[in-house]
Amino acid sequence: MGSGWKNQRGMSLVEGILAILILSIGITGFLGNFYEYTRNAVDSEFIVTASNLANEQLEIVLNDKNNVGYAQINNAKYPSPSNITVGNITFAKSVNVYEVSSSDLTSSSPGSGLKRIDVSVSWGTGQTIIYNAIVGQY
């Protein structure tokens, strides 16, 4: 007369606790990844919005160069920074225009006939997008 260890059905308390432990580790990993995916999706949306704002401002400056002339493109024409709120995020947009040397296109060189236009858009805790262009006096 065997006691039935061979025919035992169900699960012991230790097996149940072990199953819950393994399941909770798996769920914790999944939730951690879900948080990262969500945060990255939101960051991507902010990057696209900031890029669009910077591109729009750069196009305004380039259009002004074509319509009013090279000499009228200066920092006084584009006050910085200007704040734009999209949704619940505030973006700070700034424009910097300066004449540059033709040799490296970065060092200041008044009267060179080349202007560098830097448009930066910042948001959140220090994220920034910078677009730039070089225009010539022609």
pTM beyond 0.75? no
Low-confidence ranges of the chain (pLDDT < 70): 1-11, 41
Query: Which pLDDT score, from 0 to 100, does residue 97 have?
Result: 92
Query: Which pLDDT score, from 0 to 100, does residue 3 have?
Result: 56
Burial label for 47, CB within 10 Å (0-12, 13-18, 19+), is: middle
For residues 120 and 111, the answer to whether their CB atoms sit within 8 Å is no
Q: What percent of the chain has pLDDT over 90?
A: 32
| Collapsed DSSP state (helix, strand, coil) of residue 114 | strand
Query: Which pLDDT score, from 0 to 100, does residue 94 have?
Result: 93
Domain locations in the chain as residue ranges? 9-136
Query: Which pLDDT score, from 0 to 100, does residue 8 have?
Result: 62
Query: Which pLDDT score, from 0 to 100, does residue 118 have?
Result: 94
Query: Which pLDDT score, from 0 to 100, does residue 4 have?
Result: 53
Query: Which pLDDT score, from 0 to 100, does residue 134 have?
Result: 92
